[in-house]
Amino acid sequence: MKMTFRWYGDNDPVPLAYIRQIPGMYGIVSAIYDVPVGDVWPLDKIRALKEKVEAHGLKLEVIESVPVHEDIKLGKATRDALIANYGQTLRNLAACEVKVVCYNFMPVFDWTRTSLEMRLPDGSTTLAFDADAIEALDVSKGIALPGWDTSYRPDELKALLHEYETLDESELWANLEYFLRAIVPIAKDCGIRMAMHPDDPPRSIFGLPRIVKNRDDLERLLSVVDDPANGLTLCSGSLGADPRNDIPALVREFGARGRIHFAHLRNVRTNAEGDFYETSHRSADGSLDMAEIVKAYFEIRFEGYARPDHGRMIWGETGRAGYGLFDRALGAVYLNGLWEGLEKANRA
């Protein structure tokens, strides 16, 4: 298992030099953030990012994410040109020795939370989701979600949501299948493995369809193009927000088939109403048995990439909520410690 760390480029308050000092750290997961969605990522920008990361003794072999344009998700007439651009971006990434590309197919909104600063009993703050609070929001009057990056002006968002009003899950599936059948052969040809991230949270929000929520959705996704180039980012925190999802079982099933290319390791505390908040990675702190999840990866001889996903904000750290240095560094060391313990026990 190759341990990696998410880094948001020069605007990230966490220096690469600090990440390099985390024991057992293999590489950086990043992206090009100043290219509009749908445009080709220039080769020179990718090379510059790679050189910057490698100058600190780290690898850049995973990209998270290459966003999928909304016109592709909606199945609009412009999608073929946008898919062609996406394919050229993959070729440019492959030329810089990128091995895995994480992406998602969530309409309009990426990961969604109702609080970025829920205070825990120990004084740390964390990301949280309240299902009732989401249902009470009227998105037609604008977005007031914490962390929402105002990607769209109010009028643009309203128009986009209107376009999705007539799109159901079956149509979104059809548009995903169209995308995969076009893009996976390109990825395979240039040696990249696509790694779909599940919906976060794994439920419909604002009436928008969500189609990557559980075991059956993952199976359907992989069956569209049954090839290792069409794989998964298995996010324990996203799927684990639904208590019906058995994360160790998913790891064993899909990992044994070689279809998990990227592991997001995060713990959450959930309830039956669909609310959750993010905890430390430690099994005792959340609803997920992280030790059992890591054991499942060990059993299937996982050699892919992993990262400690979102962390709490601890020790007075400020910055991008969920992406501070301290708690994610603790998570990386904890996860590597679990792995080392399994290796030693296996040799005994």
Catalytic site includes residue 264: yes
Q: How far is CA 272 from the centre of its chain?
A: 24
Q: Which of 103, 309, 327, 334 is catalytic?
A: 309
Structure tokens at 242: 């639904």
The C-alpha atoms of residue 306 and residue 206 are separated, in whole angstroms, by 31
Q: Which of 197, 275, 281, 327 is catalytic?
A: 197
Preceding amide of 15 cis, omega within 30: no
Catalytic site includes residue 56: no
> Among candidates 59, 64, 62, which has minimal Cα distance to 20?
59
Q: Which of 86, 164, 305, 323 is catalytic?
A: 323
Q: Which of 69, 261, 281, 310 is catalytic?
A: 310
Between the alpha carbon of residue 26 and those of residues 3, 4, 105, the distances in Å are 5, 6, 28
The C-alpha atoms of residue 337 and residue 256 are separated, in whole angstroms, by 23
Catalytic site includes residue 69: no
Strands 115-119 and 125-129: antiparallel
Q: Is 119 left (phi over 0), alpha (psi -120 to 50) or beta?
A: beta
Q: Which of 264, 275, 277, 297 is catalytic?
A: 264
Strands 2-6 and 100-103: unpaired
Q: Which of 235, 297, 327, 334 is catalytic?
A: 235
Burial of 135 from C-beta contacts in 10 A (0-12 / 13-18 / 19+): exposed
Catalytic site includes residue 323: yes
The H-assigned helical ranges of the chain are 16-20, 43-54, 70-74, 79-95, 131-136, 154-164, 169-190, 215-224, 236-240, 247-256, 290-299, 326-347
The catalytic residues are 197, 235, 264, 309-310, 323
